[in-house]
């Protein structure tokens, strides 16, 4: 059988990444792609990819030399929500119970989005009669047909279980739906040099203050827009985070440099209640913050995989690297379990400048040579 050669999957104009297949025997090609900025291995697809830029595409073509071109097969988009009367009523009952249970609005919207697909799929069926096997068949179809990620799969299961347990009153054990194997992934981290470039990129004082606050306090994006002017405790040196994830209040560190920047920002923009307000008042939008961050990442040539939340991961990792007590980091991040915080001990940069290999000790020890 003839050995397959490299395959380049032509990206669409909106593709975020360019994918390539590299034969197992093409060691040199694989090594060159590994060395490319932003290269990533997709084990399930057995493909390599890099960020979709004209420069990366040209570099890939040069590296591959002789290759086959194939069109990128785009997964089908999940069907739009077309609820009938029964579906609308079920959605209303779920929303009502989640509001009573004090779920966040973002969680409620997420559950509604997931359940909309579920209710549409079972349109005309009495939802109370749907079996566990039918639900798992539905999840299977979502995976195979629409290639949903493991996180979307879990969100789908959570929303379905919320409906059956909270609305229909089914016991928790009634629908023990199979979940995907937990992924042992590490948080994406920015180097200190990358953080410095990103948070200092904006010329706009408000934009810079937002990025500084996110990183220096280790905040979630949803938390930074909830900050009030009164939450900055200058004299005591902390930032108060009200009712964050899990409805928990907490305190986090207030940088001395951030105090100067926030003071300058407040004098210039004069916010009235929220620390960061939109042009017409009210909380600053999440979408705007994401745009500010993405632009800063792109313009500074930083890690293209980074998101706003990467600043929070980087905050924690950089504290671990400076040997700050994990209990302090846990409290500042608002983690309920120390196990969640311990993940950052695995994200510390490993290289021969920080850690000496035991081989070096052996070879340097003259007593072992005799």
115 and 226: one domain? no
Residues designated as active site = 220, 245, 309, 312, 335, 344
Residues 226 and 302 in one domain: yes
117: helix, strand or coil: helix
Examine the domain organization and report whether 199 and 342 are in the same domain: yes
**CATH number of the domain that residue 214 is part of:** 1.10.443.10
CB 49 within 8 A of CB 56: no
Pair 94, 50 in one domain: no
91 and 199 within one domain: no
What is the residue-wise DSSP string for 110-154?
HHHHHHHHHHHHTTTS-GGG--HHHHHHHHHHHHHHH---HHHHH
Verify that 56 and 144 share a domain, yes or no. no
Q: Does residue 159 fall inside a structural domain?
A: yes
- Give yes or no: residues 95 and 47 share one domain: no
Task: State the CATH number of the domain containing residue 139.
Answer: 1.10.150.130
Residues 11 and 67 in one domain: yes
User: Is the domain of 110 the same as that of 248?
Assistant: no
In a domain, 186, yes or no: no
> Does residue 294 form part of some domain?
yes
What mean pLDDT comes out for the span 147-163?
Answer: 90
| Tens digit of each residue's pLDDT (9 = 90 or more) over 255-295 | 999 999 999 999 999 999 999 999 888 999 999 999 999 99
Q: What's the domain range around 216?
A: 192-346
Instruction: With cut-offs at 50, 70 and 90, classify the pLDDT of residue 349.
Output: low
For the record, the structure tokens of 134 come out as: 């039918």
Q: How many domains is the chain partitioned into structurally? A: 3
pLDDT at 346: 82
% the chain with pLDDT above 70: 90
Is residue 111 domain-shared with residue 52, that is, in the same domain? no
Specify if 340 maps to a domain: yes
Same domain, 261 and 227: yes
Give domain status of residue 362, yes or no. Answer: no
- Given a cut of 90, is residue 310 above it in pLDDT? yes
pTM exceeds cut of 0.75:
no
Tokens for 50, please give them.
Answer: 């890099």
What pLDDT was estimated at residue 1? 46
For residues 201 and 323, membership in a common domain is answered with yes
> pLDDT averaged over the chain?
88
Alpha helices (H) along 218-255: 221-224
Output the furthest CA–CA distance in the chain (Å, rounded).
86
């Amino acid at each position: 059988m003839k050995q397959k050669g490299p395959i380049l999957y032509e990206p669409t104009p909106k593709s975020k990444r360019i994918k390539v297949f590299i034969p197992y025997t093409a060691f040199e090609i694989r090594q060159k792609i590994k060395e490319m900025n932003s290269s990533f291995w997709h084990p399930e697809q057995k493909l390599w990819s890099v960020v979709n830029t004209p420069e990366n595409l040209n570099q890939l073509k040069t590296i591959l030399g002789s290759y086959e071109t194939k069109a990128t097969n785009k997964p089908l988009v999940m069907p739009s929500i077309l609820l009938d009367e029964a579906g609308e009523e079920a959605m209303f009952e779920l929303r009502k119970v989640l509001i009573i249970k004090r779920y966040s609005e973002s969680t409620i919207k997420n559950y509604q989005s997931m359940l909309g697909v579920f209710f549409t799929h079972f349109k005309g069926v009495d939802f109370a009669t749907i079996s566990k096997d039918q639900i798992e068949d539905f999840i299977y179809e979502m995976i195979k047909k629409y290639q949903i990620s493991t996180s979307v799969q879990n969100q789908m299961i959570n929303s379905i279980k919320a409906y059956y347990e909270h609305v229909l009153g089914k016991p928790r054990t009634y629908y023990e739906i199979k979940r995907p194997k937990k992924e042992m992934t590490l948080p994406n981290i920015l180097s200190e040099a990358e953080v410095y470039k990103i948070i200092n990129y904006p010329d706009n004082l408000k934009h810079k203050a937002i990025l500084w606050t996110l990183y220096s306090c280790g905040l979630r994006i949803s938390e930074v827009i909830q900050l009030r002017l009164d939450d900055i405790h200058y004299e005591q040196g902390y930032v108060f985070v009200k009712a964050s994830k899990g409805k928990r209040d907490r305190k986090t560190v207030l940088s001395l440099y951030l105090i100067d920047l926030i003071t300058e920002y407040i004098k210039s923009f004069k916010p009235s209640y929220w620390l960061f307000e939109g042009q017409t008042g009210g909380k600053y939008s999440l979408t705007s913050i994401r745009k500010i961050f993405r632009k800063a990442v792109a313009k500074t040539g930083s890690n293209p995989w980074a998101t706003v939340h990467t600043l929070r991961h980087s905050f924690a990792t950089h504290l671990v690297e400076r040997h700050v007590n994990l209990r302090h980091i846990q409290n500042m991040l608002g983690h309920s379990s120390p196990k969640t915080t311990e993940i950052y001990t695995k994200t510390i940069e490993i290289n021969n400048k920080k850690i000496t290999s035991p081989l070096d000790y052996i070879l340097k020890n003259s007593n072992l040579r005799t």
